[in-house]
Amino acid sequence: MNAVVLAVLVMLALSLARMNVVLALIIGALAGGSISHLGLGGSLNAFANGIGNGASIALSYALLGAFAMGISKSGIPNFLAGKVVTAVQNSHHTQTKARFFILLSIILMAVSSQNLIPVHIAFIPILIPPLLRVFNKLKLDRRLIACCLTFGLTATYMLLPVGFGNIYLTEVLARNLHDNGLSISTALMPHAMMIPVAGMFLGLLVAIFWTYRKPCLYREIQSDVEQKQEDAPSTARILGTVAAIVITLIVQLYSDSMVLGALAGCMTLMVTGVIHWNDANDTYIQGIKMMAYCGFIMIAAAGFAEVMRESGAVTELVGSIGGLLMANKAVGVLMMLLVGLLITMGIGSSFSTVPVIATLYVPLGMEMGLSALAIAALVGTAGALGDAGSPASDSTIGPTAGLNADGQHDHIRGSVLPTFLHFNIPLILFGWMAVMVL
């Protein structure tokens, strides 16, 4: 059996059996690497070398968590959440209208976290727990909330070339296409991803209007976040927080560094007095702790990815379908997308998957006679496949961090499986369609 296939199957099986995701990633990587030429010893060395690649991502998440906690201490998030709770409780509108208002608000929050206020998933553990009472009152299925959050997190960077989208479309996708000999304008990247993202939107509509349309009951358990009552924040705090957000966005856009952006935001919160100097250490430690688990998963995923690269199993897997690629373009493209799904499910990050598969898919696509736009759609979709629906993806870890604040949301059955079914399956179909028509 191919090492990638075995590694991903072991990791998924252990995750479904409720084993800790970090442990599942380590065991899966060692299982896959052991049947390759690396053996157990080589797999351990490759894993150890790979975890360094995830350190910068983990540091970014830690600082984003600190920045998000600093914003939380301003009182603005809880104050706004309280207003939403009061508005829904006092609303004379039908429950259906209130449901759609909440769902739309959550999607917009997730979209904004990728560009307007670039804190990525760090906003979820802060803004979602205070809203759990509203979800319970409206009997909203939390699997639907997870789908809305994941859609906003993933579809945004796949389509909009701003913030994290600029990193994925320009710095990752376009650069790797160019590095592997494909001549295509960077400005065309959003055009290549339009049809695949349309598939995700269709999956979201299915989740809202069909799969999770029925009421779902949860126990009323107040979390620590919900019990806090915030007064209206002062004008100075509001202005200081807005300044921190703007500075974070500007620094991140001009430096292409989430670390520098978050660091600038944290410093601005202290300089403007939103966070008092004496309280800053405790506040930022809380934020770092909040995102620490996500960081460990990213580090383990980087080790997993390095084992797969060193094993040579990715090239072997693509080579095994080489005959199909040349004999039947439609079947070949479908197989390439499925391979991308397998790889990303294990790595947990589309940003890390694209460099792995671009070196193989770009030459193959050119040999198959695919257009430049079709190759961009193929690599971009194959890389993004699995990001929604992977136990190791921040697009599923983030929603779980917020929705499980009262212990009533399971990571695998509540976030991973729903997002896999509603987004990965449409991505495969619409990604295949995009490659065939572009």
- pLDDT over 80 at 349, yes or no: no
Query: CA 169 to CA 186: how far, in whole Å?
Result: 8
- Residues 6 or more apart in contact with residue 97 via CB below 8 angstroms: 91
Q: Average the pLDDT over 8-19 and give the result.
A: 79
Q: Average the pLDDT over 51-73 and give the result.
A: 77
pLDDT confidence band for 225 (50 / 70 / 90): very low
Q: What is the pLDDT of residue 155?
A: 92
Q: Could you tell me the two tokens for 383?
A: 């890389």
Beta strands in 39-180 (DSSP E): none
AA letter at 340: G
Nearest-10 crossing angle of helices 313-320, 277-311: 50
Q: Average the pLDDT over 319-330 and give the result.
A: 68
List pLDDT tens digits, range 268-278: 999 998 888 88
List pLDDT tens digits, range 180-208: 788 888 889 999 999 999 999 999 999 99
pLDDT confidence band for 127 (50 / 70 / 90): confident
Q: Are residues 283 and 69 in contact, defined by beta-carbon separation less than 8 angstroms?
A: yes
Lowest mean per-residue pLDDT among 74-88, 112-126, 211-225:
74-88
Nearest-10 crossing angle of helices 350-367, 277-311: 30
Most confident listed range (143-157, 237-251, 308-322, 406-420): 143-157
Q: What is the pLDDT of residue 53?
A: 66
pTM for this predicted structure: 0.78
AA letter at 138: L
Q: What is the pLDDT of residue 325?
A: 62
Q: Could you tell me the two tokens for 278?
A: 């004496």
Mean pLDDT of the chain: 82
Q: What is the pLDDT of residue 61?
A: 73
With vertex at residue 265, the alpha carbon angle to CA 164 and CA 403, rounded to the nearest 5 degrees, is 60
Q: What is the per-residue burial (b if ≥16 Cβ within 10 Å, else e) of 401-436?
A: bbbbbbeebbbbebbbbbbbbbbbbbbbbbbbbbbe
pLDDT confidence band for 152 (50 / 70 / 90): very high
Q: Average the pLDDT over 365-375 and give the result.
A: 87
Query: CA 84 to CA 416: how far, in whole Å?
Result: 28
- pLDDT over 60 at 5, yes or no: yes
What percent of the chain has pLDDT above 70?
88
pLDDT confidence band for 406 (50 / 70 / 90): confident
Q: Average the pLDDT over 308-335 and give the result.
A: 74
- 249 versus 211: which is more confidently predicted? 211
- 329 versus 209: which is more confidently predicted? 209
- 279 versus 212: which is more confidently predicted? 212
Domain spans of the chain? 3-437
List pLDDT tens digits, range 298-317: 788 778 878 877 887 767 77
Q: Average the pLDDT over 342-360 and give the result.
A: 73
- pLDDT over 50 at 226, yes or no: no
Give residue 179's Cα distance to chain centre.
Answer: 25
- pLDDT over 70 at 227, yes or no: no
List pLDDT tens digits, range 163-187: 778 878 887 888 888 887 888 888 8
Q: What is the pLDDT of residue 230?
A: 54
Q: Could you tell me the two tokens for 17?
A: 């059996």
- pLDDT over 70 at 367, yes or no: yes
Indicate the length of the chain as a whole number. Answer: 438
Query: CA 345 to CA 25: how far, in whole Å?
Result: 11
Q: What is the pLDDT of residue 322?
A: 60
